[in-house]
Amino acid sequence: MSDHSEAIAVEHVGGTTASFLYIWVALLVMTAIEVFLAYEQLPTLIMLTALLGLSVVKAALIIAYFMHLKFEKLSLFLTLFPMLILCIILMLIFMPDSLRSLMLRAQ
Amino acid sequence: MSDAKAAVMDSVWQGGTHPYAINSKKFGMWLFIISDALTFSVLLMAYTYLRLSTPDWPKPFIFVPSIIFSSIMTFCLLSSSLTMVMAVHSMNHGNRKATVKWILATMAFGLGFVGLHMTEWLNLINNEHVTPFSNEWGVPLFGGTFFALTGLHMTHVIIGVIYLGIIAFAVGRGKFKYEDVEVSGLYWHFVDLVWMFIFPLVYLMSARL
């Protein structure tokens, strides 16, 4: 039983209405910046980096606070996180190939 | 005797300890989210790969309705995440009436998302003549990847609205516990999370200036 009441106590640490509102506002502001960037004449690579960077920050905020992962045990995070590394490795393996086929066509 | 029994139960190999300190439903949902995240990553990678390797990839998203609609859709999903967090918060305080209200608000935002998305799809299909197999720019793979990615996401939103409807109905009748609302919240936030990548990579990178 003591375990249970402890869990609820942690819950209270995890979220106050004010903190949820702040995060919601931060997410909306970052979305607005993204839409603004879409209409700036930036080089593709810089724009892609900026948009993906903002998206990763937004995703991290949602996972940490809305999905409550920041307040779970570290072991849960360590179990889930390797998937992300796998994804990034997959991307690094496949993406250069798409540019290679473009070069072949250009010649 | 009871001390010895407690010691045995505390052993990791006896299942007596809680390595994650969460219930099995929540852990199950986290594992589902991981596998679903991989599915969406692969679809996003396929889209990006084709986009990079195709020199004349179309930019079909005009400001009205595509970009403005998808921005409002992003607003809907972000706000629905806030209302969902509030639903979980109310349930944590044992306020079932407030929980039902917040879940209904979440469902309303979700339905708003689906409605706007459908309108935006119909604009692409009727005015820009994009179908999953052909379009006027001679890049049929655009339609294939676009509709597969956004279609799978929309399916997730529709399933989420039904899921939340069941939860709201049961919570209103005094059934289900705090965990059940929290687990449905995890699913809903994940749907929101996926859109945070689809919106910039698919819509904003292909906005027609």
Q: Check residue A77 and give its pLDDT.
A: 92
Q: Are A82 and A39 part of one and the same domain?
A: no
Residue B125, pLDDT > 90, answer: yes
The pLDDT value given to residue B22:
87
Q: Is B69 helix (H, G, I), strand (E, B) or coil?
A: helix
Q: Which of residues 11-70 of A touch B (CB under 8 A)?
A: 11, 15, 17, 20-21, 24, 27-28, 31, 34-35, 37-39, 41, 44, 47-48, 51-52, 54-55, 58-59, 62-63, 66-68
Do A68 and A97 sit in the same domain of this protein?
no
Same domain, A37 and A66: yes
Report the mean per-residue pLDDT for chain B: 90
Tokens for A87, please give them: 């994804």
Give the pLDDT of residue B166: 97
* pTM for the predicted model, two decimal places: 0.88
A2 shares its domain with A52: yes
CB contact under 8 A, A28 and B78: yes
- CA–chain centroid gap for B73, Å, is 12
- Coil, strand or helix: which one is B207? strand
Sorted by sequence, the CB contacts under 8 Å of residue A101 that are 6+ apart come out as B53
For residues A54 and A106, state if they share a domain. Answer: no
Per-residue pLDDT reduced to its tens digit, B130-157: 999 989 898 999 999 999 999 999 999 9
Residues forming a β-bridge with B164: none
Q: What are chain B's domains?
A: 23-206 (1.20.120.80)
**What letter does residue B63 receive in the DSSP assignment?**
I
- Tell whether ipTM is more than 0.90: no
Bridge partners (DSSP) listed for residue B61? B207
What is residue B14's predicted lDDT score, i.e. its pLDDT? Answer: 63
* Angle subtended at Cα B193 by Cα B73 and Cα A12, rounded to the nearest 5 degrees: 110
A36-50 pLDDT, tens digit each: 999 988 888 899 899
CB proximity under 8 Å: A 81-100 to B: 83, 86-87, 90-91, 94-95, 97-99
Average pLDDT over residues B41-45: 94
The answer on A64 and A24 residing in a single domain is: yes
Q: In this complex, do B204 and A34 lie within 8 Å of one another by their Cβ atoms? A: yes
State the pLDDT at residue A8.
Answer: 47
- Asked whether residue B12 carries a pLDDT value surpassing 80, the answer given is no
Cis peptide before B65 (omega within 30 of 0): yes
pLDDT tens for A54-82 read 999 999 999 999 999 988 888 899 999 99
Please name the member of B27, B49, B205 whose beta carbon is closest to the beta carbon of A94: B49
Subunit contact B79:A24, Cβ cutoff 8 A: yes
Counting residues of chain B whose pLDDT is more than 70, the rounded percentage is: 92
SS3 B61: strand
Q: Residue A88 sits in which domain range?
A: 74-107
**pLDDT for B10:** 60
- Return the SS3 of A42: coil
Asked whether the beta carbons of B48 and B201 are under 8 A apart, the reply is yes
Instruction: State whether A55 and A79 are in the same domain.
Output: no
For residues A1 and A53, state if they share a domain: yes
Residue B3 has pLDDT above 90, yes or no: no
The CA-to-CA distance between both ends of chain A, in Å, stands at 71
Least confident range of A84-98, B146-160, B182-196: A84-98
Looking at residue B121, its pLDDT comes to 94
Whether pLDDT at A5 is above 70: no
Task: Find the mean pLDDT for residues B149-173.
Answer: 97
Note the pLDDT of residue B11: 62
CA angle B64, B65, B71 (to 5 degrees): 95
CB–CB of A59 and B21 under 8 A? no
Q: Least CB-CB distance to A58: which of B52, B196, B203?
A: B196
Closest-CA residue to B114 (of B70, B66, B149, B166): B70
pLDDT reported for residue B4:
54
- Do A96 and A64 lie in one domain? The reply is no
Query: Would you place residue B6 in the very low, low, confident or very high pLDDT band (cuts 50, 70, 90)?
Result: low
A47 and A14 in one domain? yes
Q: What total number of domains does chain A contain? A: 2
Within this chain, do residues A10 and A39 fall inside the same structural domain, yes or no? Answer: yes
How many Cβ atoms are within 10 Å of A6's Cβ, its own excluded? Answer: 11
**CB B164, CB B103: distance < 8 Å:** yes
Q: How far is B87 from chain A (nearest CA, A)?
A: 11
Partner residue opposite A87 with nearest CB, options B41, B196, B199: B41
Whether residue A59 is found in the same domain as residue A103 = no
User: How far is A38 from chain B, CA to nearest CA, in Å?
Assistant: 5
